[in-house]
C-alpha cells in the first residue's frame, strides 16, 4: 500500500505547476498593479472639476465599480492563498475548484455589463439611432448571459480541470460574444463621432481626441479578450485563461474612468483659453452706412452704424457636440 507521501508525489508529478498555479500567481500580481491604477483614477475622478459637477447617478456608478473591483481583487487574492497556504503540501487540493474562481468570473461579468451599458448609452446620445443602439445592447446582454452561465455551471464540477475541459464550448462562446460586443460598441462610437465632424477646427480636434481614446481603450480590452479566447482554446486544461481573466474587469473599469477623467483633455485643455489667431464669431459685426466719394475717386467721408449679429462661437458648437458624448 502506497504511503500518503508517495501519493502526493505522484499527484505532483502529473500536475504542471507553471501553466496552472504559476500563471495564476502572476495574474494576481499584475492585477494588483492594475487595481492600484483603478484606485488612482477613482480618486482623480472625484477630485476633478467635472467629477464634482457630474450627476449623482454617474458618481454612484463610479463608486459601485470601484467597490466591485475591490471585491474582485479580494477574491482573486484568496485563490492562490487557498492553494498555496491553506493547502500547503496537499496537492490533492490543486485538483479541486475553489468557490472564489467562479465567483470572480461573476463579478467580472457584472463589471463588463455595467461598463458596456455605459458606452451603449453614449452611442444612443450620439446617434439617436434605435436600431444600432439595440444591436449593441443585444450583444451586451448576450455577453452578460454567457459570462453568468459559465461560472454557475462551474460550481457543479468539483474538479477544476474537468470543469475547464467540459465547459470549453460554453467558455469559448462567451469569450467570442465578448469580442463581438466590444468591437461593435467601439466601431459604432467611432462611426458616429466621425459623422459628427463640423468642419470647425476646435470641434474636429475634440472629435479626433475622442476617437483616439475610444480606439485606444477599446482595443486594449478587446486584445485581452482575444488573448483569453486563444489561451482557452489552445489549452483548456491549463489555467492560462485565468491569467487574462483576472485583469479583464479592471481593464473595463479603467476604460470608463479614462473616458471620464480625460474630458478636459478632449476639450483641448482649459475651456477659457483664447487663441490669438482665432476670430471670435460671437462678436462678428456688420457695418452699415453711407460712403461719400470725391471727384478724385477717393473716399472722403464715411458715416457708419454697427449692428452686432449674434452667432454661436466655435467653442459653443464644440460644447454642444461634447454634450452628446461626455
pLDDT at 227: 92
- State residue 8's pLDDT score: 64
Q: What is the pLDDT of residues 45-74, one digit of tens each?
A: 999 988 889 999 999 999 999 999 999 999
Classify residue 56 as exposed, middle or buried by CB count within 10 Å of its CB (0-12, 13-18, 19+).
Answer: exposed
Instruction: Specify the pLDDT at position 281.
Output: 41
Long-range contacts at 278-283 (CB < 8 A, ≥ 24 apart): 278/314, 280/313, 281/311, 281/312, 281/313, 281/314, 282/310, 282/311, 282/312, 282/313, 282/316, 283/308
pLDDT value of residue 5: 61
Handedness of CA 151, 155, 157, 160 (dihedral sign): positive
**Model pLDDT, residue 91:** 77
pLDDT at 11: 64
Residue with grid cell 500547503, as numbered in its chain: 88
Q: What is the pLDDT of residue 306?
A: 43
Give the integer Cα–Cα distance in Å for 94 and 25: 13
At 94 the pLDDT is 79
What is the distance between the alpha carbons of residues 80 and 32, in angstroms, rounded to a whole number?
13
7 to 2, 73, 159, 283: CA distances (angstroms) = 7, 34, 18, 87
Predicted local confidence at residue 17, as pLDDT: 75
HEC assignment per residue over the chain: CCCHHHHHHHHHHHCCCHHHHHHHHHHHHHHHHHHHHHHHHHHHHHHCHHHHHCCHHHHHHHHHHHHHHHHHHHHHHHHHHHHHHHCCCCHHHHHECCCHHHHHHHHHHHHHHHHHHHHHHHHHHHHCCHHHHHHHHHHHHHHHHHHHHHHHHHCCCCEHHHHHHHCHHHHHHHHHHHHHHHHHHHHHHHHHHHHCCCCCHHHHHHHHHHHHHHHHHHHHHHHHHHHHHHHHHHCCCCCHHHHHHHHHHHHHHHHHHHHHHCHHHHCCCCCCCCCCCCCCHHHCEEEEEEEEECCCCCEEEEEEEEEECCCCCHHHHHHHHHHHHC
Using one digit for the tens of pLDDT, what is the confidence trace for 269-300?
Answer: 554 443 434 444 444 444 444 445 454 445 44
Residues of the chain with pLDDT under 70: 1-15, 268-326
pLDDT recorded at residue 27: 95
Task: Determine contact, residues 256/118, Cβ cutoff 8 Å.
Answer: yes
Amino acid at each position: 500500500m502506497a504511503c500518503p507521501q508517495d501519493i502526493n508525489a505522484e499527484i505532483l508529478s502529473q500536475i504542471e505547476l507553471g501553466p496552472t498555479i504559476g500563471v495564476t500567481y502572476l495574474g494576481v500580481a499584475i492585477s494588483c498593479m492594475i487595481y492600484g491604477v483603478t484606485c488612482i483614477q477613482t480618486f482623480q475622478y472625484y477630485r476633478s472639476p467635472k467629477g464634482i459637477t457630474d450627476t449623482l447617478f454617474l458618481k454612484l456608478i463610479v463608486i459601485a465599480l470601484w467597490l466591485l473591483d475591490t471585491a474582485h481583487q479580494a477574491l482573486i487574492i484568496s485563490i492562490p492563498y487557498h492553494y498555496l497556504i491553506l493547502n500547503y503540501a496537499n496537492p490533492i487540493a490543486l485538483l479541486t475548484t475553489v468557490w472564489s474562481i467562479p465567483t470572480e468570473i461573476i463579478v467580472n461579468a457584472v463589471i463588463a455589463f455595467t461598463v458596456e451599458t455605459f458606452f451603449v448609452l453614449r452611442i444612443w446620445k450620439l446617434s439617436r439611432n434605435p436600431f444600432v443602439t439595440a444591436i449593441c445592447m443585444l450583444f451586451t446582454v448576450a455577453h452578460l448571459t454567457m459570462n453568468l452561465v459559465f461560472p454557475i455551471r462551474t460550481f457543479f464540477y468539483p474538479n477544476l480541470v474537468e470543469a475547464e475541459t467540459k465547459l470549453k464550448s460554453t467558455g469559448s462562446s462567451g469569450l467570442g460574444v465578448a469580442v463581438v460586443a466590444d468591437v461593435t460598441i467601439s466601431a459604432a462610437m467611432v462611426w458616429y463621432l466621425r459623422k459628427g465632424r463640423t468642419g470647425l477646427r476646435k470641434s474636429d480636434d475634440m472629435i479626433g481626441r475622442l476617437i483616439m481614446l475610444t480606439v485606444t481603450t477599446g482595443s486594449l480590452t478587446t486584445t485581452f479578450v482575444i488573448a483569453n479566447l486563444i489561451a482557452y482554446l489552445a489549452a483548456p486544461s491549463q489555467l492560462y485563461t485565468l491569467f487574462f481573466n483576472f485583469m479583464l474587469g479592471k481593464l473595463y473599469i479603467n476604460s470608463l474612468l479614462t473616458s471620464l477623467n480625460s474630458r478636459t483633455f478632449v476639450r483641448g485643455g482649459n475651456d477659457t483659453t483664447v487663441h490669438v489667431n482665432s476670430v471670435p464669431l460671437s462678436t462678428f459685426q456688420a457695418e452699415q452706412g453711407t460712403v461719400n466719394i470725391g471727384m478724385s475717386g477717393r473716399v472722403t467721408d464715411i458715416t457708419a452704424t454697427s449692428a452686432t449679429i449674434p452667432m454661436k462661437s466655435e467653442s459653443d458648437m464644440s460644447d454642444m457636440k461634447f454634450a452628446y458624448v461626455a
